[in-house]
Amino acid sequence: MNIIIDDKTCPAMAGEMLLTVARRNNIHIPTLCHSDALPGQATCRLCIVEVVEKGRAKVVTSCVYPVTQPMEVHTHSPKILALRRTIIKLLAARAPHSEDIQQLMEEYQITIPRRLHGSSTESCVLCGLCVKACEKLGLTAIATVGRGTGKKISTPYDEPADDCVGCGTCAQNCPTGAIPIEEQPTRRTIWGKSFELLSCSVCGHAFTTREQWEHIRRQVPGISDTPVCESCRKQQLCAQLRRGHQ
């Protein structure tokens, strides 16, 4: 089926999310909490758009809105722009030092209202990507704690988590750089827990924590006994394939 996004006709499959269709058609909708690998957060609300279906207009969140019928979508209507601006102001009031949010403020020509200025010095916007990433890896080292305005992301009882393997996937997925990760040549510290780094048995590059390597070995039976880093693994795989080809 075809849907119309900002006057452009876009082919879409039933069940696809509106944001996916828009991005495939080079229509830019801002997001903070969306990740193709970890979809469905719908927490930052930046991707709101106006949808007209069967003559009825409504504001929806494009990252979780499934296309089910022909529709007209406005990603930058005056109403959406006004709402999105307010949401950016609220995000900026919470995490004023985040680069992504500063960029959004520039793009939407926003200054933080005096009243909201300095109301928080956080950098976490509680998008939830870190928690979801941790869950996807089969770990639950971090979770949202509490509710309401006091909600935060933390380890159980704010103590170093037994389940944390120091992989750093949470920090990699954080859109606002809110999870501090400290890298030294042979050690990594994250969530208040320090990890020994293991070196690649091929190139000698320190690339993983002992706990992460053990976790991977539990999850992927038959993987080599000694740690091999990603690039060396690729090279090994290529060599294997080449040999097989010959």
Partner 1 sequence: MKHDTGKKVLVCCGTGCLANGSLDILTGLRQRVQDTACGAVRVEALIKATGCNGFCEKGPIVKILPDDVSYYRVQSTDLDEIFASSIQKNEVVERLLHLDAATGQRIRSQHDNPFYKKQTKLALRNIGEIDPTDVEDYRERGGYQALGKALQEMSSEQILEEVCVSGLRGRGGAGFPTAQKWRQCASYAASPKYVVCNGDEGDPGAFMDRSIMEGDPHTIIEGMLICARAINAAAGFIYIRDEYGLAVKNFAHALQSARKQGFLGKNILNSGFDFDIEIVRGGGAFVCGESTALMASIEGNVGEPRAKYVRSVEKGLWGQPTVLNNVETWASIPPIIQHGGQWFHSIGTATSPGTKVFSLVGKVRNTGLVEVPMGITLRELIFDIGGGVIGNREFKAVQSGGPSGGCIPASLLDLKVDFDTLTAAGSMMGSGGMIVMDQRTCMVDVARYYVNFLAEESCGKCVPCREGLRNLLNILTAICQGKGCADDLDLMAEICAAMAEGALCGLGKSAPNPVASTLKYFRDEYLAHIVDHYCPAGICKELTDFVINPDLCTGCRRCVKHCPADAISGNPKEVHSIDPAHCIKCGNCIDNCRFQAVQTMKGGSSQ
Per CB under 8 A, residues contacting partner 1 are: 42-45, 48, 59-61, 64-66, 79, 82-83, 86-87, 90-91, 93-94, 113-116, 119-120, 125-126, 128, 143-144, 146-151
* Min dist. Cβ of residue 149 to partner 1 (A): 4
* Min dist. Cβ of residue 69 to partner 1 (A): 12
**Smaller CB separation from partner 1, 92 or 164:** 92
The answer to whether the beta carbons of residues 37 and 26 sit under 8 Å apart is no
The answer to whether the beta carbons of residues 63 and 17 sit under 8 Å apart is yes
**Smaller CB separation from partner 1, 126 or 139:** 126
With a CB cutoff of 8 Å and minimum separation 6, the contacts of 4 are 10, 71, 72, 73
* Min dist. Cβ of residue 15 to partner 1 (A): 10
* Min dist. Cβ of residue 185 to partner 1 (A): 38
- The three-class DSSP label of residue 73 is strand
- Return the half-sphere exposure (C-beta side, CA atoms, 13 A cut-off) of residue 102: 7
**Smaller CB separation from partner 1, 6 or 53:** 53
* Min dist. Cβ of residue 137 to partner 1 (A): 18
Taking phi first (over 0 means left), then psi (-120 to 50 degrees means alpha), and beta for anything else, what does residue 118 get?
left
**Smaller CB separation from partner 1, 27 or 91:** 91
167, 170, 172, 173 alpha-carbon torsion, rounded to 10°: 150
**Smaller CB separation from partner 1, 94 or 188:** 94
